[in-house]
Structure 1
Amino acid sequence: MSKDFLQNPDLSYLNLSSGNAFYQLEVPEMVEEALRNEEGTLADSGALAVDTGKFTGRSPKDRFIVFDDITRDAVWWGDINIQFSPENFNSLFLKVTDYLNTKRFYVRDTYACANEEYKTTIRVVTEKAFQNLFAHNMFLRFEAEELGEQPEWTIIAATDFLANPEIDGTRQSNFTILNFTKKIILIGGSGYTGEIKKGIFSVLNFILPEQRDVLSMHCSANVGKEGDTAIFFGLSGTGKTTLSADPERGLIGDDEHGWDDSSVFNFEGGCYAKCVDLTVETEPQIFNAIKFGSLLENTNYFPGSRKVDFSNIEKTENTRVAYPLNYIDHAVLPSVAGLPKNIFFLTADACGVLPPISKLSTGQAMFHYISGYTAKVAGTEAGILEPQLTFSACFGKAFLPLHPIRYAELLGAKLKKHKVNVWLVNTGWSGGGYGVGKRMKLSYTRAMITAALNGELEKVDFTEHPVFGLKMPMTCPEVPLAILNPKNTWPDQQLYDIKANELAVAFIENFKQFDAFENEEMQRSLPKINEITV
């Protein structure tokens, strides 16, 4: 509904003047505002294309949590969750709102969590119109008649406001600060919209497990025609979005979900998909969602045109598009489905050691969940020339306010209660490590996941991996037998044993940070170093 028909809410509680606000604009109005403000241009697809400025990704070292009575003993403090004083927050809040009162700004009421029981209402106040379009696309949308009440949480994003670190207590001029007492997320100095999205995700990662016993998850999820829900965990480059985008299954969501005693539900109302090298052949759902109302970030046009060159990464490899979930043909709306039957942990193992698919016990699932292993290879980040092992607890360490063991134990309890199958899927290398072996064929990975979803892997025999103790299927429809046991794909099998031991050592070393919290099931699931006979 247009601003002409909606009265601006009273924003005095936020130290903001309602007279400067543009409230709950329709998509065409937000696009018009962005174009009027010269924030971006329209691509030939109709999508609004913008540059987010200096920051084309999140700035984790500049994300803070206010240290107070609510967070003091609950938050997992350290290099992920950095303390910020209430006094500095209050001072900076007034500076940001005073700054916005000199501008025209945009206000949107929205909410998170598709399951009504956990609905979290959000007011998003942004300096830029494109940020408000992002909020419209990414969060769940109210009907006009549902508006009116003061939301529970508020996000204030002042793109061009710069902090003074010496006075304001920040590390540098940009910041994202979560205040659980005031229920405000304060963002400044960055136009990257992912700070808005992940700010709320961090909030839900605190509230839902701590207060509601709901497992919050950094994952994609889909559901089959028989109502069987599947969850896909995975870090960047593992295939999470690609493998969950199955035309035969309904998409619940591509990034953030909750799991309670009766359902899996999306936190969001949209998708924030990577665009690098995007084609209609490789990702038809994403490609076709780029149309009027979608928001393209940091892409480039072919010279002399408004046609996006998705292979051009001059600004960043992290090019993105944000669009509402209903832009996907097979989206599940509302985005709620039943309990999961299968869970997939996706890893791109550049060592070529882990099996292409293996079944995990509950203890192993907890261990691999809290490990969150994958490998970054050349090209995934600037400066990476050789493969780098990466461990990110719960496949989303950067967004966890609570200690990872809390999420792992909650996962274990749900696995036992609901009898869920958990699979570790290696979408990385086979026949040798990076530079020697070859990347696992997507068609094989899809076939293995399909076999797991259809229950076909329940009918086959398994063999145990000698180092990691994983149950490897001995056969799988439409997959060559030779690749199911990774050691058999290596020309030098003794070298495989050496590399398997090296990877096992890395897992064990990473797990030492959780030694004080481990339970017996996880301890039994640690890999075992085998003696190698020369």
Structure 2
Amino acid sequence: MSSPESALAGTGVLARGDVHANLAAPALVQQALRRGEGRLSADGAFIAVTGAHTGRSVQDKFVVDEPETRDAVWWGKINQPLPAEKFTALAAKVRAYLSQKPELFTQDLHAGADPAHRIRVRLVTPSAWHALFARNIFIRPAKDALAGFAPDWTIIHAPDFEADPATDGCRSTTVIALSLATRTILIAGTSYAGEIKKSIFTVMNWLLPERGVLPMHCSANVGAKGDVALFFGLSGTGKTTLSSDPERALIGDDEHGWSDAGVFNFEGGCYAKVIRLSREAEPQIWDASHRFGAVLENVVADEDGRLDLDDGTLTENTRSCYPIDYIPNVVSSGTAGLPKNVVMLTADAFGVLPPISKLSAAQAMYHFLSGYTARVAGTEKGMGKEPQATFSTCFGAPFLPRHPEVYGRMLSDLISKHGADCWLVNTGWTGGAYGTGKRMSIQVTRALLRAALDGSLAQAEFTPDPFFGLMMPKAVPGIPSNVLNPREGWADKAAYDRTAQNLVGLFEKNFQGFSGGVSEDVLAAAIRAAA
């Protein structure tokens, strides 16, 4: 058993009270219940409520402005600069705050299933359930790997600490700050556990490009013949659901690296959105979320602990975090070969994109840089009745410390080098926009994906879509033609044309910021209004 001093080594936090180092899930659940941090569901999952913060605090995320890294950071709304001296002073205050806690929890974990690109992470937190979350989501080292564990990166986690904007250089009492030079992550003033997960994803997005590895916000699975598929997509597009396919082995549900050797998972767990989760459509995620050891964030349950996954009273962003081996068919190593198919998911609430389209390499880079989906009323506060287009470059703009073109060029080069087929899949609306049409059937989406992944769809005859330049299959066995061609599914064809033209304009406006940083073939593939 490690001493308190060794358990906290590298964090700068002192041991004034008990330090619980590398407790396993049963002990962490026991501690969390003892401390009143949450309760158990009827099935034994731990339910936590995160209070005011039920999602990421994007406006409170900072990158420390340091001479060693300044010129390579993509500064702006995503990566706001925090002066180095402000970070040093704030980190000292947070460390002093944690040092006075009667109990602390540490976890020593890995990020990166490929040993060649793995980092060692140490988390220190006053919260047992956050330690359990981190243990679920990252890779749990073997016991012999914990002896003499020396962290490459440390996460200083103080969910109840309130920063002072007047003196700390921040916007509010919440701060998520990343120091690339000192390899330190500071998370304060928020209990939303996703900040822990995404802070390390940001680190991997910083480190790997210099090693010739593309970090990706995507899920991945592999078929019986070793064919690897990647699934890019923003929240709500089906990334976790569609990669958790009983006919294919799951590599990971959210974050991966693509090297010349193949694909590897960054994590050892899953973090699934579970609002209105269907047991029939998503049995693997359902079962994993109804097990002891899973962590449920802001999920509503009755007094007996029975879950109501349809209840969005606390937030639409209800989450379940569980070890990846809670899914029955997984790649235990977290590694696999080179991708054969690259799938980009969008939930088009305007109902004008085809359910599946084949992309050229140039189109794939264009849609990767665009990162389009559409939000609908009810998913976020302040939204009206009409869908709103969302563009998140590389399907993960909040986690990109480098310029987007760095990742876009790497993806284009890898697709061309290894010959992957690329697809755009719309899991959103068909037969009309949100409010008129209906959500795309998951059975239809799965059937189309299986045809793409087994290679048969690539042999189909395709026809160009007149608005977006997308190549739509003319016929797929079992799929109606008025679904394959979205315009045919609209009763009011003129309304379809107007809606499609409007979305074309939104694509065109969004891509203006990239026009000077991409190749001529990508510019030629860009969606633009007819002259």
Q: State the TM-score bracket (shorter-chain normalisation).
A: over 0.9
Shift of 1:278: 2.5
Distance verdict in 2 for CA 1:386–1:493, change over 3 Å: closer
Distance verdict in 2 for CA 1:116–1:428, change over 3 Å: same
Tell me the amino acid that sits aligned with residue 72 of structure 2: A
Which position in structure 2 is the counterpart of 1:411?
411
In structure 1, the residue corresponding to 2:240 is in which secondary structure? helix
Which position in structure 1 is the counterpart of 2:163?
163
Pick which of 498-507 and 102-111 moved more. Answer: 498-507
Distance verdict in 2 for CA 1:208–1:405, change over 3 Å: same
In structure 1, the residue corresponding to 2:515 is in which secondary structure? helix
Shift of 1:282: 3.0
Which position in structure 1 is the counterpart of 2:221?
222
Distance between the aligned counterparts of 2:33 and 2:348, measured in 1?
44
Q: What does 1:364-403 align with in structure 2 at a 5 Å threshold?
A: 364-384=363-383, 385-403=385-403
Distance verdict in 2 for CA 1:12–1:497, change over 3 Å: closer
Which position in structure 1 is the counterpart of 2:525?
525
Shift of 1:275: 2.0
Pick which of 478-487 and 222-231 moved more. Answer: 478-487
- TM-score w.r.t. the length of structure 1 is 0.96
Shift of 1:406: 1.0
Distance verdict in 2 for CA 1:495–1:306, change over 3 Å: closer
Pick which of 157-166 and 475-484 moved more. Answer: 475-484
In structure 2, the residue corresponding to 1:32 is in which secondary structure? helix
Identity, in percent, stands at 50
Distance between the aligned counterparts of 2:498 and 2:42, measured in 1?
53
Distance between the aligned counterparts of 2:473 and 2:64, measured in 1?
48
**Would the aligned equivalents of 1:177 and 1:187 in 2 still touch at CA under 8 Å?**
yes
In structure 2, the residue corresponding to 1:516 is in which secondary structure? coil
Pick which of 19-28 and 508-517 moved more. Answer: 19-28
Which position in structure 2 is the counterpart of 1:441?
441
Q: Does 1:45 align with 2:67?
A: no
Distance verdict in 2 for CA 1:50–1:492, change over 3 Å: closer
**Would the aligned equivalents of 1:113 and 1:119 in 2 still touch at CA under 8 Å?**
yes
Pick which of 221-230 and 282-291 moved more. Answer: 282-291
**Would the aligned equivalents of 1:273 and 1:322 in 2 still touch at CA under 8 Å?**
yes
Distance between the aligned counterparts of 2:491 and 2:26, measured in 1?
59
**Would the aligned equivalents of 2:236 and 2:273 in 1 still touch at CA under 8 Å?**
no
Shift of 1:306: 1.7
Which position in structure 2 is the counterpart of 1:272?
271
Which position in structure 2 is the counterpart of 1:331?
330
Distance between the aligned counterparts of 2:324 and 2:529, measured in 1?
46
Tell me the amino acid that sits aligned with residue 306 of structure 1: G
Distance between the aligned counterparts of 1:285 and 1:6, measured in 2?
37
Tell me the amino acid that sits aligned with residue 329 of structure 1: P
Distance between the aligned counterparts of 1:439 and 1:32, measured in 2?
41
Tell me the amino acid that sits aligned with residue 93 of structure 2: K
Distance verdict in 2 for CA 1:489–1:281, change over 3 Å: closer
User: Deviations for 1:451-485, whole angstroms, at most 9, x for unmatched residues?
Assistant: 11111112221111222221111111221123222
Shift of 1:19: 5.4
In structure 1, the residue corresponding to 2:373 is in which secondary structure? strand
**Would the aligned equivalents of 2:156 and 2:185 in 1 still touch at CA under 8 Å?**
yes
Q: What does 1:91-130 align with in structure 2 at a 5 Å threshold?
A: 91-103=89-101, 104-130=103-129
Which position in structure 1 is the counterpart of 2:143?
144
**Would the aligned equivalents of 1:39 and 1:130 in 2 still touch at CA under 8 Å?**
yes
Distance between the aligned counterparts of 1:492 and 1:286, measured in 2?
38
Q: Does 1:240 align with 2:239?
A: yes
Shift of 1:76: 0.6
Pick which of 59-68 and 5-14 moved more. Answer: 5-14
Distance verdict in 2 for CA 1:461–1:13, change over 3 Å: closer
Shift of 1:443: 1.5
User: Deviations for 1:284-341, whole angstroms, at most 9, x for unmatched residues?
Assistant: 1112113111111112222x31212222222111111111111110111011111110
Distance verdict in 2 for CA 1:75–1:408, change over 3 Å: same
- In structure 2, the gaps of 5 or more residues are none
Pick which of 185-194 and 473-482 moved more. Answer: 473-482
Shift of 1:528: 4.1
Distance between the aligned counterparts of 1:351 and 1:69, measured in 2?
45
Distance verdict in 2 for CA 1:439–1:309, change over 3 Å: closer
Which position in structure 2 is the counterpart of 1:460?
460
**Would the aligned equivalents of 2:251 and 2:334 in 1 still touch at CA under 8 Å?**
yes
Shift of 1:9: 4.5
Tell me the amino acid that sits aligned with residue 52 of structure 1: T
Shift of 1:13: 4.5
Which position in structure 2 is the counterpart of 1:28?
26
Tell me the amino acid that sits aligned with residue 22 of structure 2: Q
Equivalent in 79, 92, 108 of residue 81 of structure 1: 79
User: Deviations for 1:54-82, whole angstroms, at most 9, x for unmatched residues?
Assistant: 21111000010001123211111000100
**Would the aligned equivalents of 1:367 and 1:525 in 2 still touch at CA under 8 Å?**
yes
Which position in structure 1 is the counterpart of 2:67?
69
Which position in structure 1 is the counterpart of 2:11?
14
Tell me the amino acid that sits aligned with residue 53 of structure 1: G
Distance between the aligned counterparts of 1:438 and 1:295, measured in 2?
32
**Would the aligned equivalents of 1:447 and 1:477 in 2 still touch at CA under 8 Å?**
no
Distance between the aligned counterparts of 2:221 and 2:323, measured in 1?
16
Distance between the aligned counterparts of 2:399 and 2:65, measured in 1?
17
- TM-score w.r.t. the length of structure 2 is 0.96
Distance between the aligned counterparts of 2:489 and 2:27, measured in 1?
57
**Would the aligned equivalents of 1:12 and 1:18 in 2 still touch at CA under 8 Å?**
no
Which position in structure 2 is the counterpart of 1:57?
55
**Would the aligned equivalents of 1:451 and 1:477 in 2 still touch at CA under 8 Å?**
no
Distance verdict in 2 for CA 1:490–1:275, change over 3 Å: closer
**Would the aligned equivalents of 2:269 and 2:322 in 1 still touch at CA under 8 Å?**
yes
Which position in structure 1 is the counterpart of 2:343?
344
Shift of 1:12: 5.5
Distance between the aligned counterparts of 2:287 and 2:433, measured in 1?
35
Distance between the aligned counterparts of 1:119 and 1:143, measured in 2?
14
Count of equivalent residues: 525
Which position in structure 1 is the counterpart of 2:481?
481
**Would the aligned equivalents of 2:374 and 2:387 in 1 still touch at CA under 8 Å?**
yes
Shift of 1:403: 1.1
**Would the aligned equivalents of 1:348 and 1:374 in 2 still touch at CA under 8 Å?**
yes
Q: Does 1:133 align with 2:156?
A: no
Pick which of 250-259 and 235-244 moved more. Answer: 235-244
**Would the aligned equivalents of 1:461 and 1:474 in 2 still touch at CA under 8 Å?**
yes
Tell me the amino acid that sits aligned with residue 456 of structure 2: E
In structure 2, the residue corresponding to 1:367 is in which secondary structure? helix
In structure 2, the residue corresponding to 1:258 is in which secondary structure? strand
Distance between the aligned counterparts of 1:133 and 1:60, measured in 2?
24
